[in-house]
Chain A
Amino acid sequence: MTTHRVSAFLAPRRRLQVAGLLTAPVAWLGLVYVVALAALLITAFWTVDGLTGQVQIQWTTENVVEVFTEALYRTVTLRTLGIAAAVTVIDVIVAIPVAFFMAKVANPRARHLLVIAVLAPLWASYLVKVYAWRALLSADGLIGWAGAPLGLDTPGYGIAGVILTLSYLWLPYVIMPIYAGFDRVPDRLLEASADLGARGGVTLMAVVMPMIKPAIIAGSIFAFCLSLGDYITVGIVGGTTQMLGNLVYTNVGAANNLPLAAAISLIPIGIIFLYLAAVRRTGALRSL
């Protein structure tokens, strides 16, 4: 009876219905996401007590100035940017032919199998995959063994190892949007292009590329942002390499200096905002 009365009350009141539906998720987004982020940013302007490590609310720009002036943070930022850019480029170069084959060449049965094959690694734990790469890159690992007859050696633990491992980890996130992009390109456009005398390369550059550009950019956002924030992979296969995430982690953990950690995290946040702004200018965000 009461259920009936409630629905009778709500039926003509569309706004109340919408409010009832949205309040919980919006409050969740607001509190957990926006407020947490704001608290993080404000913390960057606080300080800590040297001995006890308690955060003290004394306003200071010391942390932010330190992050933007000291050579350590500049070096690590450039290294992190370089790694993220390299991972993004490698992933896009590998993903485009794979996605093209999946969307346009493979028959439907093979396509399903390929989609499963691309997504399957996501079911395995991140750590298992990174430790597998640690074994691969090791001095007596598979890469060194396979390369030995060709006179090649394993790159070992270091920046090259980090780039290889991250490229592997984020590849599914780049293939899937590009695959969806190719899927949206109608076959008849390719046929029309061929009928008009265009060779494969011309068709690819003049017809297909403009249509899948938003998909490539979407994939690059995943690879770039995920690489920018990573700190576990670099700890396992990076040798002595430090990335921005490691600096944040040591300041939260070992140094117990939350304000400095918050100040360092401003760097990747700033970079990602710049990247998204650049992407927005290309108009790619609208067509996602």
Chain B
Amino acid sequence: MLKPTARMSLRAGVASVAVASLAACGTASSGSDTEAATEIGDAEGTVSILAWPGYVEDGSNDPSVDWVSGFTEATGCEVVSKTYGTSDEAYQLMQSGGYDVVAASGDLTLRLIGADLVSAVNTDLLDNYEGIFDFLKDKEWNSVDGVSYGVPHGYGANLLMYNTDVVDPAPTSWDVVFDNASDYAGAVTAYDSPIYIADAAVYLMSTEPDLGITNPYALDQDQFDAAVELLKAQKENVGEYWSDYLKEIQAFESGDSVVGTTWQVIQNSITTGNTEVVLPDEGATGWSDTWMIASEAESPNCAYMWLDYIASPEVNAEATAYFGEAPSSEAACDYRDDCDDYHAGDAEYAEQIWYWTTPIAECVDGRTDVECVDYAEWTKAWQEIKG
């Protein structure tokens, strides 16, 4: 039997342990190394990779799809990989640590750089970096102040898909999903992510030039409100939003959706043959993925070896073809026969694409006289748009 005082101090002890453990969760780790390496040392033996599905295939999903074994044979680095479904999930996983390499889309890269979760990459150490298309290098989603944070992997556009039986005449503008969406009320679809607000901004760039939008990821409050209004009006006609690409394939095959935003790989997967895709006159948003190295990587040498390996024309071709996107390596098209479908290397086509970039308060279009709406506000607005 404890005396009252002893019992009280025991209780206080338990309480302070509880508070300390609560305080421990959620505090940021510091002191990570974000400087670029100067040389590649010996392989550490294993490398842990976080990537989109279909980016790191070792033959376990499909025996004929395997570019990991070749890497292990060439470098001696065993690969442990994990896939993720959204950029936001990847961000959480990177925060929890334990990964050496991450394949990040443009709406994730700046967040990773801002949180010191990835380090700069010395591209001089990578033999295959030179073969990457120039129009993908040193962009706002993979570099900061001229310092590169990774190697471009592949890119694609968020295209407009329509059902040729229903949508007539063939659309050349995004107005079929915005101002004229009521023609297909209940059968319009849109991508279910805050980043879709940029699609509305791209449309407003040509229909409402008075707003002065020069970059769909750098919206001040007025421009942002206009895009949100447009999307609230669109919602009345939307049948469903999609984020799972299999769901969109099924919705177009069954006719539940007849017009909306899509990826090339979805068009390639649809078997009913009554859909077409088009890059509308206004241009489109898109993604360009980057291989990055974690600032706390335990195997930085193997990480550099992976970045170099995956950028080689043959492997880059195999990986991007499997996922359904344009390769980043110029010579990759020698190993692929479907490069034309993806307009690989077509700089003019690529220029019409606004690649996903994380919206931050400091406008990414260079304006300094206004503050831009950041991604947290985009997320909040997206929930309000969906209501």
Secondary structure of the A side of the interface?
Answer: loop
Asked if A6 is an interface residue, CB under 8 A from chain B, the answer is no
In the complex, chain A residues whose CB is within 8 Å of the CB of B22: 39, 42
Q: Which of the four size classes fits the interface of chain A?
A: 35 or more
Asked if A17 is an interface residue, CB under 8 A from chain B, the answer is no
Q: Which of B92, B254, B387 contacts A75 (CB under 8 A)?
A: B387
Asked if B89 is an interface residue, CB under 8 A from chain A, the answer is yes
Task: Say which one of B203-211, B212-220, B324-332, B373-381 lies at the interface with A.
Answer: B373-381
Interface string of B349-387 (1 = CB under 8 A from A): 000000000001100000000000010100110111011
Q: Nearest chain-A residue to B110 (Cβ)?
A: A51
Asked if A287 is an interface residue, CB under 8 A from chain B, the answer is no
In the complex, chain B residues whose CB is within 8 Å of the CB of A254: 86, 88, 193-194, 379, 382
A140 touches B255 (CB 8 A): yes
> CA separation between A251 and B382, bound complex, in Å?
11
> CA separation between A242 and B384, bound complex, in Å?
10
B95 touches A54 (CB 8 A): yes
- If the complex has contacts A56-B26, A141-B254, A236-B247, are A156 and B383 also in contact, measured as CB distance less than 8 A? no
B86 touches A240 (CB 8 A): no
A140 touches B240 (CB 8 A): no
B255 touches A139 (CB 8 A): yes
Asked if A52 is an interface residue, CB under 8 A from chain B, the answer is yes
> CA separation between A157 and B248, bound complex, in Å?
13
> CA separation between A225 and B91, bound complex, in Å?
31
B255 touches A253 (CB 8 A): no
- If the complex has contacts A52-B28, A157-B256, A253-B86, are A242 and B23 also in contact, measured as CB distance less than 8 A? no
Asked if A149 is an interface residue, CB under 8 A from chain B, the answer is no
In the complex, chain A residues whose CB is within 8 Å of the CB of B383: 72, 242, 247, 250
In the complex, chain A residues whose CB is within 8 Å of the CB of B239: 156-157, 239-240
> CA separation between A138 and B28, bound complex, in Å?
47
How far, in Å, is A62 (CB) from chain B's closest CB? 13
Asked if A256 is an interface residue, CB under 8 A from chain B, the answer is yes
> CA separation between A52 and B18, bound complex, in Å?
26
Interface string of B88-124 (1 = CB under 8 A from A): 1101100100000000000000010011000000000
B28 touches A54 (CB 8 A): yes
In the complex, chain A residues whose CB is within 8 Å of the CB of B1: none
Interface string of A117-153 (1 = CB under 8 A from B): 0000000000000000011001111000000000000
> CA separation between A240 and B188, bound complex, in Å?
11
In the complex, chain B residues whose CB is within 8 Å of the CB of A49: 28
Asked if B54 is an interface residue, CB under 8 A from chain A, the answer is no
Asked if B153 is an interface residue, CB under 8 A from chain A, the answer is no
Residues of chain A whose beta carbon lies under 8 Å from any beta carbon of chain B:
35, 39, 42, 46, 49-57, 72, 75-76, 134-135, 138-141, 156-157, 236, 238-240, 242, 247, 250-251, 253-258
Known: A55-B25, A156-B256, A240-B386. 16 other contacts (CB 8 A): A51-B111, A51-B114, A51-B115, A52-B111, A53-B91, A53-B115, A54-B27, A72-B384, A156-B186, A238-B240, A239-B239, A240-B239, A240-B240, A254-B86, A256-B88, A258-B26
